[in-house]
């Protein structure tokens, strides 16, 4: 994932369509989860909140991510992307700010594919819509 290309797309959409810039959400799963956290870490002022599922992140982004409302999910039975990838970035974020708005959920028995169901539940969308950027 190239965060600069994602930014180009976001800026194109905001320029050409009627959007609410106080409610810009990014989410992704697996490599998309990595991409989500990389984008949020590089362009935190462009988004309102982010959800990353069974991905991970870069330690260098942790202190920036500590300022972004985040939900991170990972299954404890994921064979494709180890749970340690999400655990590590969450630990890094909490080292920067123990009160960071980062919620980490470990899904008991969750595999790499089974956690995809989160996208079909209202919970993350209700959480997203409660987040508003000043």
Crossing angle between the packed helical segments 31-42 and 3-16, to the nearest 10 degrees: 70
Predicted local distance difference test score (pLDDT) of residue 133: 87
65-78 core/surface letters (b: 16 or more CB in 10 A; e: else): bbbbbbbbbbbeeb
Token pair in block for residue 40: 């949020």
pLDDT of the residue at 87? 98
Nearest-angstrom CA–CA distance, 89 and 86: 5
pLDDT of 65 over the 80 cut? yes
Q: List pLDDT tens digits, range 105-131.
A: 999 999 999 999 999 999 999 999 999
| pTM of the model as a whole | 0.94
CA dist 94 and 120 (Å) reads: 28
């Amino acid at each position: 994932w190239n965060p600069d290309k994602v930014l180009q797309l976001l800026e194109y959409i905001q320029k050409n369509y009627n959007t609410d810039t106080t409610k810009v959400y990014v989410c992704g799963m697996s490599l998309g989860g990595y991409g989500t956290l990389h984008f949020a870490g590089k362009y935190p002022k462009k988004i309102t909140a982010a959800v990353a599922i069974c991905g991970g992140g870069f330690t260098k982004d942790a202190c920036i991510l500590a300022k972004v409302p985040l939900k991170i999910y990972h299954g404890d039975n994921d064979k494709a992307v180890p749970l340690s990838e999400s655990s590590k970035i969450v630990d890094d974020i909490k080292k920067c700010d123990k009160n960071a708005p980062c919620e980490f959920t470990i899904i008991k028995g969750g595999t790499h594919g089974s956690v995809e169901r989160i996208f079909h539940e209202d919970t993350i969308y209700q959480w997203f819509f409660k987040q508003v950027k000043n």
